[in-house]
Amino acid sequence: MNAAILIRAHGGFTVPRMVETRADIRVRLCLAAVIALCGLSVAAAQPRGTSRDPSILVIGRISEDPRASHLSLKPLLDYVVARMADLGIRAGEVLMAPSDAVMRSYLRTGLVDWVSETSAQALRLEPAGARPILVTERQGRSTYRTVFFTRAESGIRSLADLRGRRLAVQHEFSTSAYVVPLGLLLEEGLKLALLPSPRMPVPEGMVGYALARSEHNIAMWVHMGLADAGAFSDVDLADLQRSSPGVHEALVVLREGPLMPRALELIRADLRPEVARRLEALLLAAADDPEAASALAAFGGVTRFYPYDDRSRRQLEELRRLLARVRDLER
């Protein structure tokens, strides 16, 4: 019942001085996927387990580091598969996608059954029929919110003060450190410009934003003055307080965003109902099963799953509005 990695895209990433544009990211991910398809010997490019083989359950994730994601997903997949034999499930496989567009293709063609993703990515997968069934709690938090922050001496006191300044965000896959902050700035009527490097000049009257690629880099860019402000989640801010209290003390919060689900478990629209029900039941009960403890810890530090309820739907609707604004920006 071992899960197998199917596609390996680009591995670890070290932030350079020049930050990739969205076009650069797409090109890099596409090239990496082609290389993986041509040369990866771990498994065939076409996954053995598809919706046409009902004995194999396939979990997927959008990832730039598929090997790390495979190690995260595999234990919980194996836990679930071992408890579905009576439904004809005999094995599990892990399928990575380098982008949401590729994952949508996997969903439409039945190559993936279960996807674990962030809230923004869940919305991007909706057109392919992905349906949320559970909210994922990590380290005791099932929701989080975006926080904008700056140096105490920056003179920035509101989002409007960011005109002519630089904002550090993570990357376009991020909910709290990309979609929400950019969406909120656009709702404020601010005009945004992507900066390939935080050292580039900001167009007059606009807010320049640069992709720092990690939460740590966002905080350091602001602390070092490479960016005037940054945005990530309140969970990241609490982590910064524990890991770098000196840096944390030098920063002040400008604005908080709305609460959002930290992550969601999704299934494809035509997954067999009995498999979908069993998957949901197993995950809901996993936190109370000692045999699932290590698998949950590997699964991004998950502490519990909750039903996808009306509150979560309302939160996702608010995120949908912000994502629509960001999509308009990216066109």
pLDDT at residue 42 above 50? no
Beta strands in 200-280 (DSSP E): 207-211, 229-233, 251-261, 263-267
pLDDT at residue 246 above 70? yes
pLDDT at 32: 45
pLDDT at residue 48 above 50? no
- Arithmetic mean of pLDDT, 221-240: 98
Q: What separation in angstroms does the CA of 329 have from each of 128, 200, 281?
A: 22, 20, 40
How far, in Å, CA of 155 to CA of 134, rounded?
Answer: 42
Query: What are the φ and ψ backbone dihedral angles of 306, each rounded to 5 degrees?
Result: -125, 155
Beta strands in 262-315 (DSSP E): 263-267, 302-307
Instruction: Tell me the pLDDT band of 110, cut-offs 50, 70 and 90.
Output: very high
Q: Which two tokens stand for residue 11?
A: 């591995």
pLDDT at 191: 98
Q: 161, 149 in Cβ contact below 8 A?
A: no
pLDDT at 19: 44
Please tell me the least confidently modeled range out of 45-49, 104-108, 141-145: 45-49
pLDDT at residue 330 above 90? no
pLDDT at 87: 98
Instruction: Tell me the pLDDT band of 331, cut-offs 50, 70 and 90.
Output: confident
pLDDT at 6: 44
- Arithmetic mean of pLDDT, 98-108: 97
Q: What percent of the chain has pLDDT over 90?
A: 82
pLDDT at 53: 87
pLDDT at residue 12 above 80? no
pLDDT at residue 15 above 50? no
How far, in Å, CA of 183 to CA of 2, rounded?
Answer: 41
Delineate the domains of the chain, giving CATH numbers in brackets.
22-140+262-317 (3.40.190.10), 143-260 (3.40.190.10)
Instruction: Tell me the pLDDT band of 318, cut-offs 50, 70 and 90.
Output: very high
Q: Model pTM?
A: 0.84
pLDDT at residue 1 above 70? no
Mean pLDDT across the chain, nearest whole number? 88
Higher pLDDT, 172 or 10: 172
How far, in Å, CA of 207 to CA of 211, rounded?
Answer: 13
Q: Which two tokens stand for residue 25?
A: 């990211």
- Arithmetic mean of pLDDT, 54-79: 96
